[in-house]
Structure 1
Amino acid sequence: MTGIHGANPDPLILAEDRDGIAVIWLNRPAQRNSMRYESWSELAAALESVSTARGVIIAGAQGFFSAGGDLKTGPAHGSGPMGPAGRVEHAQRVMEQLRSVGVPTVAAVEGAAIGLGWSLALSCDLVVAARDAFFAAPFVTRAVVPDGGLAWRLTQQLGRHRASSLLLRGNRLPAEDAHRLGLVTDLAEPGAAVDEAIAIARSVAESEPGAVELTKRLIAAAEAAQLATFQPLELAVATVAQQRSASEAARDQWSR
């Protein structure tokens, strides 16, 4: 297992080769694999480094997929007009890169996929989840807005009212319920999601590679236009929400 940036003793992303299947690990287990801006940069590099793999698995280290965006570092990055939501824009680009990978991609969810972590899982072609895992989108309860295309994806898949319940109330969705709703493609026993994901990726990779890639392109084309329209709006709303949050924090500090 190797880090993406060489000598870094604590890489945010790790990659390993399992007989031609690349397993990419989110590697901040002490923070439940929450994603910093740099995590997305390392994930992008990892996706480039496994270009010859027959399949790609995205998983979280030590039994937890991802708690989403790192709340301590916040979504701001850079000083431009979109700087307040710089991480959101970066994540959008990397998830687009993930969707464009020419081989099957599988999310292996143990523990939970929360917020932006759920968005990342849904950006894969297939989602394997341990039966005791759960999904959640507690954006509103944390005074932020959904990002990573999650509002669009849930509304497309579930319809307005079910999506609204998950996004506005932040309820947990158990893996077995997510499977019934079509948000999870396969269930695995606890602790076996990565092995199951590898087996599925190997099975798909046995098909003719060109047919697999062209089929992926057809599926991507079906959603590309709507998602491309939605993402700038998501970014603008995330920017406004972050600016509002910063203003309220400054006002509270001033009033003390």
Structure 2
Amino acid sequence: MTYQTLDYALGDRVATLTLNRPDRMNALVPQLFEELQDGLDRAAADGARALVLTGAGRAFCSGADLTDRGEPPIRDTGAMLDRYYNPLVRRIAALDVPLVTAINGPAVGAGLGLALLGDITVMARSAYGLLAFVNIGLVPDAGSTWLVAQAVGRARALEMALLGERLSAEAAHQAGLVTRIAADEDCLAEAQAIAARLAAGPTVAVSLIRRQVAAALTATLDETLMIERDHQARAGRTQDFAEAVRAFAEKRPPRFEGR
């Protein structure tokens, strides 16, 4: 596929996907969802062991493009979520490799949902997050309700969703919405460095950790213990674990191959 709304780059076993509609602050249209899905396919085919998601220009993503003249008026917003938004969110959540988001600028509406899907989130100091839905008579989507509420709790999530006010990078970090703050010019480089570190790690264990933490958000302690047992049994059979044991005995860093 030839991309018109997405840039794709691969290096250090890290695939960087860049939302590329800078003239529209990387606002979301169906074509961008289709190209993102294809970009994830391409990353898997290329053997990427970590992903970075960022935006071109001055924004990460301004949410849905409600004025895109290339698309018909949205008559059924629920159907739009079913066809484009929810499949992408579910796929990212189920990835076998980690995702780092470089929130290089404003992350608004569904764009904030995409930004918070990162396992590790690096936010530029001048960026901000905004649950803007109430300002246009809509409700949060792209998983942002769950992602925000899990991070900041009921009271703060309601405040963000009901008032529709900007949240600075510093406030987002203090609230636990994002992992790190970086200087604007360093945001992408720091995210890629983190992704490269993850890509060099034990891929199976990293994948299981992602799933384990997600499950723990809704599981009981006993259910979590069973998940940990099953995952540990699988991780203990990997070549990477065997390599780590050898490296420990030989007093050297392990060389993980992702198997």
Q: Note closer, same or farther for the CA distance 1:95–1:101 as it changes in structure 2 (3 Å cut).
A: same
Aligned counterpart, 2:7: 14
- CA deviation after TM superposition for structure 1 residue 185, in Å: 0.5
C-alpha distance in 1 between matches for 2:198 and 2:72:
36
Q: Note closer, same or farther for the CA distance 1:119–1:75 as it changes in structure 2 (3 Å cut).
A: farther
**What is the SS of the residue equivalent to 1:59?**
strand
Contact 2:8 2:18 in 1 (8 A): yes
Aligned length: 214
Whose radius of gyration is greater, 1 or 2? 2
Q: Note closer, same or farther for the CA distance 1:30–1:224 as it changes in structure 2 (3 Å cut).
A: farther
Aligned counterpart, 1:163: 157
Q: Tell me the TM-score normalized by structure 2.
A: 0.77
- Does 1:136 pair with 2:130? yes
Give the letter aligned to residue 11 of structure 2: R
**What is the SS of the residue equivalent to 1:38?**
helix
Deviations 1:181-237 (A, max 9, x none): 111101111121110001111122222111111111212333578xxxxxxxxxxxx
Q: Note closer, same or farther for the CA distance 1:84–1:182 as it changes in structure 2 (3 Å cut).
A: closer
Aligned counterpart, 1:231: none
C-alpha distance in 2 between matches for 1:212 and 1:85:
34
1:1-256 aligned within 5 A = 5-6=1-2, 11-51=4-44, 52-73=47-68, 83-89=76-82, 90-223=84-217
Q: Tell me the TM-score normalized by structure 1.
A: 0.78
Contact 1:67 1:112 in 2 (8 A): yes
Deviations 1:47-94 (A, max 9, x none): 11101112100000113100011112589769xxxx442222221110
CA RMSD of aligned residues (A): 2.0
C-alpha distance in 2 between matches for 1:153 and 1:215:
18
C-alpha distance in 1 between matches for 2:209 and 2:145:
25
Extract unaligned runs of 5+ from structure 1: 226-256
Q: Note closer, same or farther for the CA distance 1:75–1:198 as it changes in structure 2 (3 Å cut).
A: farther
Give the letter aligned to residue 150 of structure 1: S
Extract unaligned runs of 5+ from structure 2: 220-259
Q: Percent identity?
A: 35
Aligned counterpart, 1:234: none
